[in-house]
Structure 1
């Protein structure tokens, strides 16, 4: 894909800002920001300042289509150069009507029978795609030494709840049934995602356990949406000014689960499931300056209380969506690398 010249120019400006000496970066970003006993990382504060100057937002005037276009555009600015040491091929996942498109990522030199991560991109169930998260999938594949199957699940408002959740479970079932075709070990298949994708991964895991049969061996949940029925303290602390806003979340949920959808349904709010026993181990990454922080951490606590092995890792100085920014600044990459390492260990041969 050829990136248009205006995008390349803007990407160069962003890279240039992050290459400046620390003093100049601080001058652009402003005084250190402290909230709830946490200090925002300079990398995070700088990207927020650049977004403010460019009037970037997750939900744009005009709604769905402009917001989708903006997310596709943004990955060229903050995602970094494409990792050419990871190859990609298209895969079709059959479903009742038609098929779900997916991309299989394979690091160069990875042997057959590797672990595999079924990956569900973020974007509030409304925006985002395999393309917008191509850099994230490649990074996880390379760092964790696994194959990654990135899924183009159906988006709202064209396909409302629970369509995306159904696609997530179907993708895991496909990966397990066709593991040999994908070059993977059927006993080492994890599921994961970021934000809304983390929600879908958690939901699909619960559904797999409830019905019996194949279950993911690990969950990789990055700043997941876990409860659409209530607002926790972090929604008030970080209501605005940190890219994802509380109003954005309201809009996303309204698109995905319009009335009369039950927002206490565990297929939308996995934190509210009556029984969390028997779920596979999980890594849950949260961000300190994120409206969704507290519900992700509440989900980690609920899993622990149900006897599930959980590693909760709050990145106290970062914002929601930190995995999307791995092409700029070291803190975003460092935090995402930690998640990739947890995945690598979970899917290593003999890890179970």
Structure 2
């Protein structure tokens, strides 16, 4: 982040961003520049405008150290997440093994409700309950589900497999405490974005292999699924589209510095030998996301294993879009589609306690 922008109050920056996105479309296009087209896709104006403003302000996803990057994310989230979505009741919880969590209950959702156990993104290094607060509120309200957001341990202080262990523990907690949470133990989904999407899929994989209760549904936003290979989308969108190829290496090296362990299905779930019995899934990818191809390959592998999968590529979007719902309209539209898929998937779910 530029030194000048650090001195500007975040409220002023947020007001400026909102004002820019409220301009007439021709003016927004003038600021963003000529349309960006790659791989037969055209970047959404909202996404291109956001990237232009980020570049002008000197923002970046990663700023040298985990500590600086976390501070930058905590500051910049106010620019794009929007005002808190209501009416949603929110309370803090502490899960088994002292895992902090946040529980969201939207209006008009009573007892025995469906539940989404949500894992935030941030490359297993960044992200907090606060960074994805409005995303959880949005999903709770529009999918008509309760949401349990999990503050799993982060790397490099807690490297692989700490996050995967916490993620699975949180799901088991939700099943065991379903009555007191007021949720149906047969209608507990797992979901997340990016690294959180990875943890959701890994949690489902662990649950199926354990032979006990398994999630009823997987809600995976642009998940990382394979740390052992470099696919075409990573080269196509290596730089300039929020998440960069260099960022991916930085996150991976912090989370799993032991390269020999990166093929473990608890990290690279796409490398699992058998995905039979995995829960139905909605997998969303962004057309301009370096993780696009591995997310879509995971969807195809699930389908080949007989798992019902809805794969939705948003060809005009970038990585991280569920965090940008406070600006423009396109990010919110894509996130609303996912909320609808979650609501429908849980409504159609058969009992999921055993695989």
Range class of TM-score, shorter chain: over 0.9
SS in 2 for 1:128: coil
SS in 1 for 2:131: coil
* Matches of 2:26 and 2:87, distance apart in 1: 35
The answer to whether the 8 A contact 2:283-2:299 is kept is yes
Q: Can you list the C-alpha shifts for 1:148-175, whole angstroms capped at 9, x where unaligned?
A: 0000000000000000000000000000
SS in 2 for 1:297: helix
Q: Does 1:70 align with 2:72?
A: yes
* Matches of 1:183 and 1:268, distance apart in 2: 32
SS in 2 for 1:286: strand
Deviation at 1:261, TM superposition (A): 4.6
If the length of structure 2 is used for normalisation, what is the TM-score?
0.95
Give matches, 1:195-234, under 5 Å: 195-234=194-233
Aligned partner (choices 13, 17, 20) of residue 14 of structure 1: 17
| Alignment match, 1:32 | 35
Q: Can you list the C-alpha shifts for 1:185-244, whole angstroms capped at 9, x where unaligned?
A: 101000000000000000110010001110000000000000000100000000000010
Structure 1 residue runs of 4 or more that deviate by more than 2 Å after TM superposition: none
Which stretch has the larger CA shift, 272-281 or 256-265? Answer: 256-265
Give matches, 1:221-260, under 5 Å: 221-259=220-258
Deviation at 1:142, TM superposition (A): 0.2
SS in 2 for 1:296: helix
* Matches of 1:261 and 1:168, distance apart in 2: 22
SS in 1 for 2:312: strand
The answer to whether the 8 A contact 2:187-2:349 is kept is no
Q: Does 1:57 align with 2:60?
A: yes
* Matches of 1:223 and 1:73, distance apart in 2: 23
Give matches, 1:156-305, under 5 Å: 156-259=155-258, 261-305=260-304
| Alignment match, 1:86 | 88
| Alignment match, 1:46 | 49
Deviation at 1:283, TM superposition (A): 0.3
Q: CA RMSD in A?
A: 1.1
Deviation at 1:260, TM superposition (A): 5.0
Q: Can you list the C-alpha shifts for 1:125-183, whole angstroms capped at 9, x where unaligned?
A: 00001100001000000000000000000000000000000000000000000011111
| Alignment match, 1:325 | 324
Structure 2 stretches of 5 or more lacking a match? Answer: 1-6, 351-355
* Matches of 1:337 and 1:180, distance apart in 2: 28
The answer to whether the 8 A contact 2:81-2:325 is kept is yes
| Alignment match, 2:3 | none
The answer to whether the 8 A contact 2:233-2:291 is kept is yes
* Matches of 2:12 and 2:150, distance apart in 1: 30
* Matches of 1:270 and 1:90, distance apart in 2: 30
* Matches of 2:116 and 2:42, distance apart in 1: 33
Deviation at 1:5, TM superposition (A): 8.3
Structure 1 stretches of 5 or more lacking a match? Answer: none
* Matches of 1:183 and 1:141, distance apart in 2: 14
Q: Can you list the C-alpha shifts for 1:306-349, whole angstroms capped at 9, x where unaligned?
A: 1100000000000000100000011100000000001111223x
SS in 2 for 1:118: strand
